[in-house]
Every structure is written in structure tokens, then in C-alpha cells.
């Protein structure tokens, strides 16, 4: 079984985001970048399947400029076998990303594509679903448990009413949620080995995908500061404040 794991390079989740002075975007100058946390979970799941003898090969894939090679090498250090870099300097929106990944999937022919449910930079939660539609494959989103039964993928996902179990025929697309696993820390020897591993480079324009942006960012603003709490003497005062000051009753 071959697994393809798309990963995205994002601002590290520990970094406090700063908005540019002209409010056109986020300041990325001298900011620590890392693999999207949900994608780390996907890589961990794929490597565990390989270690269990379920998967024979794990391929990590990323889209972007030369800097994403660092993210791919992090995936190799975690245990992936190969890395594919779809090279482009353009900003890639979810639909374009899904189209690029689908183009690679058509040539690599993986049995499962497993990726994070969303990226923490745009929180779009769209690429996995669009990718499944592009390929015409079954999909299970926000998986908190993945098993294999009689050649099918058995997925458990959390929903508002509890747990939902889904059975998928292969090939399929799975997106991962936080509770699926805890990603490992790559060992220093594996990190050093990953630095010398080859990364396959594919130019985005060679895949015949339209990367023209379909969205326009009008303004990026810092969220307003949270106001301090307030104590009230009794229920009557609470109701009055909610009615007359907060205007929510």
C-alpha cells in the first residue's frame, strides 16, 4: 500500500502573529516556520502504518517556494521514504492545491492520500474535500481513528452527536484530526540523514493547473483586545446588564 501525505509550511503555532502596518497580510519576516500541526499528525499516522507492515511506502508532498524543502525534510526525518516538491512562487489557494496534488496522485497512484484536516494559517478546511472530488475518490474528514478491515479503511470521526464510523473503499482521501495521534520527535541521526536525501522537484506550471487567485484579501486586522470581566451583585442586575448594556436579551 502506498501512502501520499501532502504537508504545508506555515508559521509555527507558538509564534505570536503580527499584522503588517498596511494591513495587507501577516508579517513573515524572520518568523519561525514549521510543518502544519495537522499534517504532522498525518505523517505520523502514515509512518505508523508503514512500521506496522500495512503500508509499503510513504511519500510526503509540499507546494511552494524553495523554503518548503525544509518542511519536506522534516517529514523524511519522521520516517517518510520519498519527498516531492511542487515548486511555485505563487500563493496557492485550496482549489489550486487540490488540483496540483491530484495531478501528482494520477502519476504516483497512491492507495490513500492522508493529510491534515486544515492548515492553521488560513483554517480553510477545504483542500482534502476538493482533492477527493477532483479524483472521484471516497473521503473521510477529521478522522480520530483509522483502521483497515478486509481491504477497506475504517474511519471514526467526532461529530456533534458523538462518534461517526465510516468505511471507505480504496483509494480514498483521509484528513486527520488532533486526537488521532501524537507526532513523534525526529531523532538527531534521522534529521542529519534527511538533509542529504534527494527531493523530487516538479514545476507547478508543468502540471497544467490554473493557479490564478480567486480570492482577494481586502484587509487583515488584529483581533480586538478582550475586555475584562465584570462582577454583578445578583441575578436581577445580570439580567439588566444583558438587556440594557450588552443588548443580547
Query: Each residue of 207-220: pLDDT tens digit?
Result: 989 898 888 888 88
| Residue 75 pLDDT level (bands cut at 50, 70, 90) | very high
Query: According to the model, what pLDDT value does residue 26 have?
Result: 84
Mean pLDDT of 35-52: 95
Grid coordinates standing for 80?
517518510
Q: Give Cα 141 to chain centroid, integer Å.
A: 12
**Distance, CA of 13 to CA of 11 (rounded, Å):** 6
Q: How far is CA 60 from CA 43, 77, 84, 120, 216, in A?
A: 8, 11, 6, 19, 30
Per-residue pLDDT for 65 more than 90? Answer: yes
Assign domain 2-223 to its CATH architecture: 3-Layer(aba) Sandwich (3.40)
As a whole number, mean pLDDT of residues 154-176 equals 91
Rounded Cα–Cα distance for residues 190 and 40 (Å): 16
Give the bridge partners for 11, in sequence order.
33
**Across 39-54, average pLDDT:** 95
Instruction: Report cis status (omega within 30 of 0) of the bond before 143.
Output: no
Task: Write down the pLDDT at residue 149.
Answer: 83
- Reported as a single tens digit per residue, the pLDDT across 113-123 is 999 999 998 88
| Predicted local distance difference test score (pLDDT) of residue 249 | 64
Cα atoms found within 13 Å of the Cα of residue 231, Cβ hemisphere only: 1
The confidence score (pLDDT) of residue 72 equals: 96
Judged on CB neighbours under 10 Å (0-12, 13-18, 19+), 192 is exposed
Which of 15-24, 99-108, 165-174, 188-197 has the weakest average pLDDT? Answer: 15-24
C-alpha cell at 138: 471516497
**CA triple 147-148-149, angle to 5 deg:** 120
Instruction: Annotate the chain with DSSP letters as a single string.
Output: -EEEEE--EEE-TTSPP-B-TTSSSB--TT--EEE-HHHHHHHHHHHHHHHTTS-SEEEEEEEESTTHHHHHHHHHHHT-SEEEEEE-SS---HHHHHHHHHHHHHHH--SEEEEES--TTT----HHHHHHHHHT-EEEEEEEEEEEETTEEEEEEEETTEEEEEEEESSEEEEE-GGG--PPPPPHHHHHHHHTS--EEEEGGGGT-------------PPPPPPPP---SSHHHHHHHHHHTS---
Amino acid at each position: 500500500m502506498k501512502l501520499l501525505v501532502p504537508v504545508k509550511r506555515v508559521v509555527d503555532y507558538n509564534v505570536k502573529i503580527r499584522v503588517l502596518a498596511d494591513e495587507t497580510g501577516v508579517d513573515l519576516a524572520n518568523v519561525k516556520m514549521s510543518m502544519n500541526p495537522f499534517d504532522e499528525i498525518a505523517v505520523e499516522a502514515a509512518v505508523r502504518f508503514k512500521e506496522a507492515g500495512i503500508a509499503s511506502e510513504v511519500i510526503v508532498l509540499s507546494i511552494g517556494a524553495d523554503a518548503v524543502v525544509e518542511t519536506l525534510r522534516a517529514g523524511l526525518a519522521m520516517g517518510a521514504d520519498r519527498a516531492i516538491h511542487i515548486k511555485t512562487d505563487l500563493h496557492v489557494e485550496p482549489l489550486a492545491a487540490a488540483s496540483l496534488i491530484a495531478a501528482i496522485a494520477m502519476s504516483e497512484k497512491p492507495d490513500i492520500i492522508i493529510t491534515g484536516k486544515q492548515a492553521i494559517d488560513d483554517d480553510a478546511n477545504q483542500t482534502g474535500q476538493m482533492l477527493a472530488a477532483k479524483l472521484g475518490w471516497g473521503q473521510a474528514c477529521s478522522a480520530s481513528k483509522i483502521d483497515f478491515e478486509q481491504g477497506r479503511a475504517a474511519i471514526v470521526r467526532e461529530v456533534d452527536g458523538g462518534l461517526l464510523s465510516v468505511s471507505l473503499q480504496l483509494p480514498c482521501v483521509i484528513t486527520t484530526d488532533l486526537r488521532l495521534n501524537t507526532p513523534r520527535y525526529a531523532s538527531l541521526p534521522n534529521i542529519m540523514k534527511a538533509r542529504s536525501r534527494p527531493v523530487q522537484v516538479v514545476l507547478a506550471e508543468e502540471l497544467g493547473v490554473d493557479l490564478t487567485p480567486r480570492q482577494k484579501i481586502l484587509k487583515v486586522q488584529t483581533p480586538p483586545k478582550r475586555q475584562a470581566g465584570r462582577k454583578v451583585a445578583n441575578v436581577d442586575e445580570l439580567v439588566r446588564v444583558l438587556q440594557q448594556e450588552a443588548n443580547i436579551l
